[in-house]
Amino acid sequence: MSQRLSLTQAFVFLLRRDLLLALRNRAEYAMPLLFFVLVITMFPLALGASPELLARIAPGIIWVAALLAAMLSLDSIFRSDFDDGSLEQILLSAHPVAMLVLAKVCAHWLVTGLPLLLVAPLLAEMLGMPSEAQPTLLLTILVGTPVLSLIGAIGVALTVGLRKGGIILSLLVLPLYVPVLIFAASATENAATGFDPSAQIYMLMAFLLFSISLSPWATAAALRMSVS
């Protein structure tokens, strides 16, 4: 490592490293996905399998399950790096930590958020959601789950140094997830009942831009606090 990496190189390098690590460790990263499917399976069992009911609450169920799955997977953003010390090296690097954090969050989303996109249509079909709502559901997942990862990264960065951070993490992060949940679920519901969901989608996109621009800074500050 005698030559210096540019910021873009460092970003891509970190992204590739994290993706590679995830690829070597497939079983661990499949868990949130499995959890997502399992939680959704519980709802028809608890509420009864009447098709009208399920179709009506499908957007809400899918989104709550996505929220929980995202939260469950959050810990892996920084945990292993914190344990083996590479997080300290990242913080010591010459590049802005916020950008490197963004790379890590991107990698995390590609590994945990994107797969939800693949199983969601299947589950929506099983719950009897109207097929014209499917594109909207996918779009909300595509736009909404990165926001979950970005906000969650702040919470993980705050709790990564703690031994029993898991339960605190949910207390910190879930209230901040409320806006995403509201707009994503109501967009899907609008689409399912034949209304125009574009307003909610725009709001979700606004959340995405807002959290991309601000959350890495807060995460970087929190990481410095946790590691020092």
Partner 1 sequence: MFLWFHKLGSPPHFYRIAGKWIPWLNWIFALLLLAGLYGGLVLAPPDYQQGESYRIIFVHVPAAWMSLFIYVTMAVCGAIIIIWRMKLAEVVLISSAPIGASFTFLALVTGSLWGKPMWGTYWVWDARLTSELILLFLYLGIIGLHNAIDDKRTAGRAVAILALVGVVNIPIIHYSVEWWHSLHQGPTVTKFDKPSIHWSMLLPLLLMALAFQFYYVLALFQKCRVELLRRERNTRWVEEL
Binding site for partner 1 (CB under 8 A): 154, 158-159, 161-162, 164-165, 168, 171-172, 174-176, 178-179, 182-183, 186, 203, 207, 214, 218, 221-222, 225-226, 228
Shortest separation between residue 41's beta carbon and partner 1, angstroms: 26
Report how many helices (DSSP H) and strands (DSSP E) the chain contains, helices first.
10, 0
SS3 content of the chain, % helix, strand, coil (to 5): 85, 0, 15
Nearer to partner 1, 154 or 192 (CB): 154
CA distance 193 to 191: 5
CA distance 105 to 214: 13
Closest CA to 176 of 210, 225, 201, 200: 210
CA distance 43 to 56: 13
Shortest separation between residue 127's beta carbon and partner 1, angstroms: 20
Shortest separation between residue 203's beta carbon and partner 1, angstroms: 8
Shortest separation between residue 219's beta carbon and partner 1, angstroms: 9
Closest CA to 180 of 206, 213, 154: 206
Nearer to partner 1, 112 or 159 (CB): 159
Nearer to partner 1, 10 or 136 (CB): 136
Q: How many residues does the chain have?
A: 228
Concatenated DSSP letters for 142-166? HHHHHHHHHHHHHHHHHHTT-TTHH
Shortest separation between residue 82's beta carbon and partner 1, angstroms: 14
CA distance 95 to 11: 9
Nearer to partner 1, 15 or 185 (CB): 185
Nearer to partner 1, 64 or 174 (CB): 174
Shortest separation between residue 56's beta carbon and partner 1, angstroms: 12
Nearer to partner 1, 111 or 184 (CB): 184
